[in-house]
Amino acid sequence: MTKKLFTSESVTEGHPDKVCDCVSDAVLDSILEQDKNAHVACETTATTGMVHIMGEISTTADVDIPSIARQVICDIGYNNPGCGFDGNTCGVIVSLDKQSPDIAMGVNESLELRDGETDADNQIGAGDQGMMFGYATDETPELMPLPISLAHSLSKKLTEVRKNGTLKYLRPDGKTQVTVEYDDNTAVRVDTVVVSTQHDEDVSLEQIRADVIKYVIKPVIPEKFLDGDTKIYVNPTGRFVIGGPMGDAGLTGRKIIVDTYGGFSRHGGGAFSGKDPTKVDRSATYYARYIAKNIVAAGLAKKAEVQLAYAIGVAKPVSIMVDSFGTSKYNDDLLEQAVEKVFDCRPNSIIRQLKLTETKYLPLAAYGHIGREDLGVKWEETDKTEALKKEIEKLI
């Protein structure tokens, strides 16, 4: 029996990096509403009094990007000068160009298509090279690691009690962190909870701590995981008045571990927000999660990690890997063979299967892109379990 601690963090939508992710995905959503074939790589940075939106976009859509950015910032809660950042008055700079034609030629017409393969799903090639990971574990109902699941729930609750007026003195920026103790790979207790929340200047630290424990931590962390040795830290610096882009510069794509598995699984390094689904950084990561989740949901493994890797301009992945960490009665090679039979990992097929040109991305920009059963996204469905089990039976 071995004991270990594992920690994951989450951030609220008012965190400066998440403000930028939200703006980038809101721009993407607005463009895809008009042009499903748009190529979008939208990056945002924010600092005191300023938002800069940049990147490469090729589209027929006509959208008012500054207005989109201001609306998102105000909806997050930065809608008055008292918060130190105001979507109504901040400067918005837009610096956009078209997608490089060198990239577009491989995305619009894959290597397979140029080689004469006429299958419709060979129409487009991967928008970049790289490797993407997906993961699933049976330790929570949504098949996510417990530390990131709890951290996200705390962040969502922190935002909820701010927006519904339960804790009116809260401001948008916030971070949460949960340390879970594992005994022989089973979560047995929560060792530490950290919540840091931006607040009005005239509220005492004692009130913040009492209210956050009562209205945020206790409703979220199951009682069975809390004990007399659980450590709880609320605003451990003692003050968090200056926050958001005024406290720290924000940047799209800087919370990729928060967006996925909280560090529990490997990560290919690519960010999601502001990227259309031809970018496999986004679409193939979602698909790898879809594969891993179906493996675990089918009972073929207690946990599974899937890696997909691509070459730019090529539709078919260059490699598919499954790691069950010794939790399956089947060897990983057999699982990989079943995956290759059941799942079509070409970008065009992924986009179609997961309905990625119809997905709204702004709701995903905060509180995780993975495990979001609350949003009804296709990559969280477990509709391939029977097909996987049947394929395994054929192979053994």
**Residue from 15, 199, 369, 384 carrying the catalytic annotation:** 15
| 43 among known catalytic residues | yes
**Residue from 56, 75, 332, 336 carrying the catalytic annotation:** 56
The full 3-state SS of the chain, as one line of letters, equals: CCEEEEEEEEECCCCHHHHHHHHHHHHHHHHHHHCCCCEEEEEEEEECCEEEEEEEEECCCCCCHHHHHHHHHHHHCCEEHHHCEECCCCEEEEEEECCCHHHHHHHHCCHHHHCCCCCHHHCCCCCCCEEEEEEEECCCCCCCCHHHHHHHHHHHHHHHHHHCCCCCCEEEEEEEEEEEEEECCEEEEEEEEEEEEEECCCCCHHHHHHHHHHHHHHHHCCHHHCCCCCEEEECCCCCCCCCHHHHCCEECCCCHHHHCCCCCCCCCCCCCCCECCCCHHHHHHHHHHHHHHHHHHCCCCCEEEEEEEECCCCCCCCEEEEECCCCCCCCHHHHHHHHHHHCCCCHHHHHHHCCCCCCCCHHHCCCCCCCCHHHCCHHHCCCCHHHHHHHHHHHC
| 279 among known catalytic residues | yes
| 156 among known catalytic residues | no
50 strand-pairing partners? 47, 91
**Residue from 39, 70, 199, 254 carrying the catalytic annotation:** 254
**Residue from 70, 162, 171, 279 carrying the catalytic annotation:** 279
| 343 among known catalytic residues | no
**Residue from 156, 162, 175, 316 carrying the catalytic annotation:** 175
**Residue from 173, 281, 305, 380 carrying the catalytic annotation:** 281
**Residue from 162, 275, 293, 369 carrying the catalytic annotation:** 275
* Number of neighbours of residue 357 by Cβ within 10 angstroms: 16
**Residue from 104, 249, 311, 387 carrying the catalytic annotation:** 249
**Residue from 240, 264, 272, 343 carrying the catalytic annotation:** 240
| 29 among known catalytic residues | no
| 240 among known catalytic residues | yes
| 323 among known catalytic residues | no
**Residue from 43, 86, 121, 128 carrying the catalytic annotation:** 43
| 275 among known catalytic residues | yes
CB of 304 closer than 8 Å to CB of 322: yes
| 223 among known catalytic residues | no
* Furthest-apart CA atoms within the chain: distance in Å: 70
**Residue from 6, 18, 85, 272 carrying the catalytic annotation:** 18
**Residue from 152, 156, 199, 255 carrying the catalytic annotation:** 255
Catalytic positions, written as ranges: 15, 17-18, 43, 56, 175, 240, 248-249, 254-255, 275, 279, 281
